[in-house]
Every structure is written in structure tokens, then in C-alpha cells.
Structure 1
Amino acid sequence: MWRRLASQLVLAFFLMVLGHIIISYLPFPSVPEIWVNSKPYFDKQFLFFVLAGFLAQMVDGMLSMGYGVTSATCLISFGVNPVAVSAAIHTSEVFASGISGYSHYKFGNVNKKLFRHLVIPGVLGAILGAVMLVFLGEKAGKWLMPIMALYALFLGFKILYKAFQPSPTNKKVKRVGWLAGAGGFLDSFGGGGWGPIVTSSLIAKGRSPKYTIGSVSLTEFFVTLASALTFFVTVGVSHWNIVLGLLLGGGIAAPFAARLAGKLPRKTMMIAVGIMVMVWCIRMFIKSLS
């Protein structure tokens, strides 16, 4: 059922984006003129965009977090304007998270019961966060970032500590819906945090890293899509060469990342998750103070 719903949502989002492009470029120029105008965008730098998408999706697919941090770091190091970086990442992440979620499902990394508990609260939280951000303004979300970063930093240390302890039993985590709702809200309103908050909380409570990462990655598609649809209606999209590069690289990396997520040892995955959470926390804390 979720696959049919996901396909319909992606089609709806694609048609909205396509309609936006058509309206923006009416009346259409001739084909030679389109080629002349678009050719400069597909240069050597475009290959760097593909590389950024590949690296970002490898990290996100294996750890269920880090797509924004990794791709933003790569793109900014390539000299891309930060405004263009933000717009391109939000657009491309919809499609990249869809490919990643499907790959995790295909390789058996998804706990269906956990997914059902996460998806609806996560989507509702994402919509609420996006709507509030649109009405209150971007600066209103910045006060949340230090608090969220410190909380996730604590979880990162806790995950690292547990990585070197004996394997725990798979514990039942209470109030998963509230956790997903908070993660979705913070991801939209604060500019990020779904993976670091939800994944790290579940793993820190003793959930299996493999199934947690797979289930959270699949849910992330619906959360990201809900957020992106809300933002798209209000601000539109741009910088298509960057979006296309990220999509190509992410599409190539997604199956490999999902495969590795199911094969890596528990200790290795927990160490990687803990380190990624702490890197994200430090980056977001510094960003919130600047």
C-alpha cells in the first residue's frame, strides 16, 4: 500500500514541479536556444554535483542521517552559493530519500511495525513545522537549533558508549509517535534533524541499528516530501543543474548504501552513527550561534 501511495505522491510532486517550470518559461524558446542556454551548466562543475550527491546518499543511506550535512559541505567547498545549496538540497532530497527508502525495503532493512508508528506523526510534524516556518519566518527556527544540537550530542555520546558494550536485547520504545512528530517538526522548522533525532534516539534505546536505519530512511521520504510540498507551494524551486547532479549521484549510491546498511556489523554502524550525530551537532551548534 505504501508503495502505491509513495508513487502517487512522487507523481503529484513531479507534476507540480513540471508545471512550475512550464509556467516559468512560457513562451518556450526554440530547441537550439534551449541547448545554448543550458549547455554552460553541464560543465566540469556538474560532475562535482554528481559526486556530492553520491557521497551524501552513501552516508545517509548507511546511517539514516547526514544527507544535508554531507551535500552542503561538498557543494560549499565547490564554491556554490549557500542559498543555491539550501534550495537544491531540499528539492533533490525528496527523490533521493525515495530511492533510498525503496532500496532499504528491497534489502529487508525495514521493520513494518516501526515504520507504521513513525510515518503519520512524522508527516504531520513536518507539515506543521513547514507551515509555522513560512508564517513566522526563517529566523524563528534558529533558537531551536542549539537545544536540539545539545540533545542529539548527548545521544551521540550515548550511542558511542553502547557501541562498546555487549549487544542489548531489542527493547520496546515508548512514545515513538511523539518522537517522530518532534523529528518531523524540527526537520522542517529548524532546517534539519530527522535522522539525528529519531535514529539516534531509537538506537540509544536499544533498537537494532539495521532495522532502525532502514525504517527511519523509508519514513524520511514521506517526511521530506510533506515538507518539500509545503515549501514548494510558497517559494518554488530553482538551480536545476545542482538538483540534477545531486539526483544522479544519489540515485547511483542509494542501492549500494542500503546494501551496506544491512551487512555492516552492529558495532561499526553504531560508531558511525555516533560520530555522524556529533559532527552534525557541532556544525549546527556553531551555525546557530553565528
Structure 2
Amino acid sequence: MDFDLVLFVGVGFAAQLIDGAIGMGYGVIASSVLIATGMPPAVASAAVHVTKIPTGIASGLSHWKFGNIDWLVCRRLILPGIVGGIIGASVIALLPIHVIRPLAALYLGLMGIVVILRALRWRQNLAIDAAPKGRPGIVGFLGGLFDSFGGGWGPIVTSSLLLQGREPRLVVGSTNAAEPVVAAVQAAVFSFWLGAATLTTIGSTALAIMAGALLAAPIAAFLVNKLPGRLIAGAVGIILIGLNIPAVVSLIGRLL
């Protein structure tokens, strides 16, 4: 097997293991790696969203098996997430590559900072409010909108729902269960704007990432309350910042 494909299987496995355990990381990690290899941001985001459909279904089924899903919250995330995803995917597909590449890197780097800040405030045994406050629909819209730029559904939706006082186990499961529906619509929008032929050029890469993620999905669902969330989230943030620093520095250099 080609070494690059083996690498992408590993990327998919690690990204899904982290995402399934703490509710964030799959999209931003996979997109950052693909963009770092030279793939255009819109194509990278499209490829990741295609892989999110089967991997997200596997993750959702795994969380359902372990009782980690609040179906009311899940349903309230989906429709607003789809609307936000359509808008975001259209924007990134239509912007010129020389504009979107540094912006995507900047966004992904900022997501790394967000994840690190989340790690610093992490509470594995977070106190749960009797009546969680906040509207999942607004969170879903923002998650779908910014997720199209290379990932962000997990960091935005998971963190926001946790801050509303919801149970971490159910937040992670519900976020993962809603994601493949939103991702399917985003993939269709990317296909419309970029052309289906564009997506076929990265088919082997997407399949390799998908294979690794499918292997990790049931393991992540089992470990959702077992892994040290603070350390994992912090590591994700550091990786994202490291992968995207070169493009951000290049952008700053051009602006100066």
C-alpha cells in the first residue's frame, strides 16, 4: 500500500478517536493535514465532509449503543446546522484560492486556540444544571456555518452546549449524531459548486481517511468518559496551531 495512504488512514483514525471521545477535532485535524499537503482548502473541506457521512453515522450508532445521545438536542441542531452549512460551503467554494487558503489557515489556527482554551477550562465531572440554558438551534447554525471552512462543528457546538450546562457525555454523543446529516448537505453543496469530477480526484485519500475513522468510531464511543479530556483537547489545539502557523505567518508577511 502507498505510504501516503497509510498515513491518511492514521490521520483518520486519530482524528475520529479524538473527535468521538471529546466531541471535537475530526474536521479541523483532517482539513489541516490535507491543506498542509497542498490541497486547495475548498477541495480539502469537501473531501473531509464526504468522509464525515459514513464515519459520522458509525460514530452516532456507537454513541447510541452506549446511551450517549439526547435526541431532542440532536434534532434541534440539524436543521439550523444545514442552513449554516449551505451558506458556509457556498462561500468557501466561490472565493479565489489565493484568498481562501490563508483565511482557512487562520481560521483553523484560531480553532486550535479555542480548543486549548477549552482544555484549560475542562471539567471531566462538570456540574450539570437542572435546566440547561441556551438554544441548540443557534449553536447548530454557527457550527454548520464555520464548519465549512475546514472544520469547527465540534469545537463550536460541543463547547457551546457544555457551557449551557448540559451533560458532557450527552453533548458529545448528540453532537456526533447530528454531524453526518449536516455534512451530507455540505458535501452536496461542494459537489454542486466544484463539480463532482473534482471530488473524484481525491477519492483514494478520502477513502483512506474514512477507513481509519471507521476503525476508531466504536473505540472512541466506549472511551468517551475514560480518556483525560483536558490533555487530549490541549494536544489537538497544539497540533492545529502547528500545522497552520506557516500559512498564517505568510499572510501576515504579505499584509505588512
Which among 256, 260, 264 is matched to residue 226 of structure 2? 264
What percentage of aligned pairs have identical amino acids? 31
- Alignment check: 8 A CA contact 1:130 1:231 kept: yes
**Change beyond 3 A, Cα 1:82–1:146:** closer
Calculate the TM-score normalised by the size of structure 2. 0.77
Q: Relative to structure 1, is the Cα distance of residues 173 and 153 closer, same or farther in structure 2, using a 3 angstrom cutoff?
A: farther
Runs of 5+ unmatched residues, structure 2: 251-256
- Deviations, residues 102-161 of structure 1 (Å, cap 9, x unaligned): 221222111112112211111111012122333444536965875786587357425523
Assess, with a 3 A threshold, how the Cα gap between structure 1 residues 147 and 60 changes in structure 2: closer, same or farther. closer
Task: Give the counterpart of 2:39 among 65, 82, 85.
Answer: 82
- The range that moved more, 196-205 or 274-283, is 274-283
Q: Which runs of 5+ in 1 are unaligned?
A: 1-41
Corresponding letter in the other structure for 1:258: A
- Residues 205 and 255 of structure 1: CA distance in aligned 2, closer, same or farther (over 3 Å): same
Residues 160/208 of structure 1: CA separation in 2 closer, same or farther (3 Å cut) = farther
1:137–1:101 distance in 2 versus 1, CA, 3 Å:
farther
In the alignment, does 2:245 pair up with 1:245?
no
CA contact (8 A) 1:125 1:184 kept: yes
1:3 aligns with: none
Q: Does 1:220 align with 2:179?
A: yes
Cα distance in structure 2, aligned partners of 1:97 and 1:283: 24
Q: Which has the larger displacement, 108-117 or 168-177?
A: 168-177
**What's the counterpart of residue 180 of structure 1?**
140
How far off its partner does 1:46 sit?
Answer: 2.9
Once structures 1 and 2 are overlaid, which stretch shifts more, 95-104 or 83-92?
83-92
Residue identity matched to 1:119? I
What is the distance in 2 between the residues matched to 1:283 and 1:46?
Answer: 19
RMSD of the TM alignment (CA)? 3.3
Q: Which one has more relative contact order, counting CA pairs under 8 Å at least 6 apart?
A: 2
| Equivalent pairs, count | 242
Alpha-carbon distance between aligned partners in 1 of 2:60 and 2:216, rounded to the nearest angstrom: 12
In the alignment, what sits opposite 1:209? 168
Structure 1 position 62 matched with structure 2 position 25: no
Contact 2:26 2:151 survives alignment (8 Å)? no
Does the CA contact (< 8 Å) of 1:152 and 1:196 recur in 2?
A: no
8 Å contact 1:68–1:89 — kept in the other structure? yes
SS at the partner of 2:121? Answer: helix
In structure 2, what is the equivalent of residue 116 of structure 1? 75
Q: What's the CA shift string for 1:56-84, capped at 9, x where partnerless?
A: 2111211222123433566688xx54349
- Paired position in structure 2 for 1:99: 58
Partner in structure 1 of residue 90 of structure 2: 131
Of residues 153-162 and 166-175 in structure 1, the stretch that sits farther from structure 2 once superposed is 153-162
Name the structure 1 match of 2:253: none
Q: Distance in 1 between matches of 2:119 and 2:29?
A: 21
- Which residue identity is paired with 2:39? P
1:197 corresponds, among 131, 140, 156, to 156
Q: Distance in 2 between matches of 1:108 and 1:50?
A: 28
- C-alpha displacement of 1:173: 2.8
TM (norm. structure 1) is: 0.69
Q: Tell me: CA distance 1:220–1:284, structure 2 relative to 1, closer, same or farther (3 Å).
A: farther
Name the larger-Rg structure: 1
Q: Distance in 1 between matches of 2:117 and 2:22?
A: 16
Could you tell me how far apart the structure 1 residues matched to 2:30 and 2:96 are? 24
